[in-house]
Amino acid sequence: MFSCTELRADLSSGEVAFDYLLSGGSGPAIGFTERLRFPVPPGELSQPRREAFDAVLRLLHVVAGVSYFKLAAPPTVDLGPVGFTAAELGYLRGVYLHGLREFAYQNDLPSVLDTRFTAGAGEPVPDPPAPDSSGDASWYSIDARPLVPCGGGKDSIVSTEAMIRSGRDPVAFAVNPNSIIDSVVSASGLELLKVSRTLDRQLFALNRLGAYNGHVPVTAVNSLIAVAASILHGFGPVVMSNESSASSPNLYWLGEPVNHQWSKSADAEQALQAALRSRLGVTGLYFSLLRHLNELQIARLFCGTTAYDGVLTSCNNAYTIDRPATQRWCRNCPKCRFVFLALAPFASVERMVDIFGANLLQDEDQLPGYRALLGIGGPKPFECVGEIAESQAAVARLGELAPWRATPVVRQLLSEIDPLLPSWSDVLDQRALSYAPQSFVQSLSGLTGAATVSSPA
């Protein structure tokens, strides 16, 4: 059994600790403690604000537990003695049953799809009063300064610029930011709110000894950390940068979709919104500004400015937990290849080389990786990349543009993909993708200044 045992929060220091226990089987039980450090809030928190912060921490306690659950993937998760609303339970089940499907698939653990959940408090508690009734929502204003998580990539940069143009005075946010994220935030001119997250070191030791390992839905963890930080410091909505393509699964396994980006998907966003609304009685606390856009539309928006060319970073090798970043792009992973491919139709060869340090489409050793992005011979890679149709359309478009069409990778890929592809304009305008445009953006005064996000030029 995996148990979420104790949660401790000290606002005088900003320290939060989550305790967990793995028990059962032939060996002794193993306890874990994960720690967060939030910046100490200014002044004393009102009782309603403190209660809201504590409620988000209770959700986060369970969600962050995925890192330790996966070591053994036991059949039962004990959520602890705290009662959750039906919507909260729905979201928590989604994090484990959908967010861990890639982990289950890669470790051949179909039992993960049948994980059971127990809670010491028994049945879910009733939903609290609606926002317009007697519930106390005085601690929150949707028009307060928005918090914009910054990952260093094109998506969060587009959201950041849109929120700056809206005149809403956004604040950048990051969990464990490194020098790369610091440089992106510096280019934006925003202040940065930081939270540190420290995983229990036993996690890495047990992985080295052969415990189960694999992908976890880290965006779900970071999203709740951001919501907690926003509440603690009196900011407004957490404005994410998750696009429509994040809802597209990589493959189907045992009849179920497996999506590397589930915690960035529209389903996850709606489930978290419902969970927060059911407990806190407020709306608009969390949403993605870019949900109605696909990767190519976002790439086009990013290329409208060169202010971030020297700091843009989307390579996950720059964000490893156990070693510091040494370079912005490894230039040899699915993320590097896809971001290069998405930006290239809107940028010159010279600009792309300035950003990446090389022309990836000139390097024939990149061909196997690009074939994977185009769905040639298998599903798209387990990475945060766009739909196969987007990659195919980008290659087809580059075949129409000199000098991109002369590069070895583009020439070879054009000879291998189906000539009856959707047109570039159909893909760019969302008419040929798996997931139709959606938007869960709440009504925000002043957001009309970000209209270019809704209608990219």
Q: Is the pLDDT of residue 129 over 50?
A: no
pTM over 0.85: yes
Position 260 confidence tier, pLDDT thresholds 50, 70, 90: very high
* CA–CA dist 146, 160 (Å, integer): 10
Which residues, 6+ apart, have CB-to-CB distance to 47 below 8 Å? none
* CA–CA dist 427, 435 (Å, integer): 11
- Phi, psi angle pair for 71, to nearest 5°: -60, -35
3-state helix, strand, coil in the chain (%, to 5): 40, 15, 45
The pLDDT > 90 percentage for the chain reads 78
pLDDT at 442: 60
pLDDT at 443: 52
* CA–CA dist 17, 53 (Å, integer): 14
Let me know: does 18 contact 65? Beta carbons within 8 Å.
yes
pLDDT tens, residue by residue, 357-398: 999 999 999 999 999 999 998 899 999 999 999 999 999 999
pLDDT at 325: 57
H/E segment holding residue 90: helix 86-97
Residue 214: closest CA among 298, 108, 141, 113: 108
In Å, how far from its chain's centre is CA 213?
19
Q: How many Cβ atoms sit within 10 Å of the Cβ of residue 35?
A: 14
Position 133 confidence tier, pLDDT thresholds 50, 70, 90: very low
Position 82 confidence tier, pLDDT thresholds 50, 70, 90: confident
Average pLDDT, the chain: 89
pLDDT at 386: 94
Helices 47-64/86-97 angle, 10° precision: 30
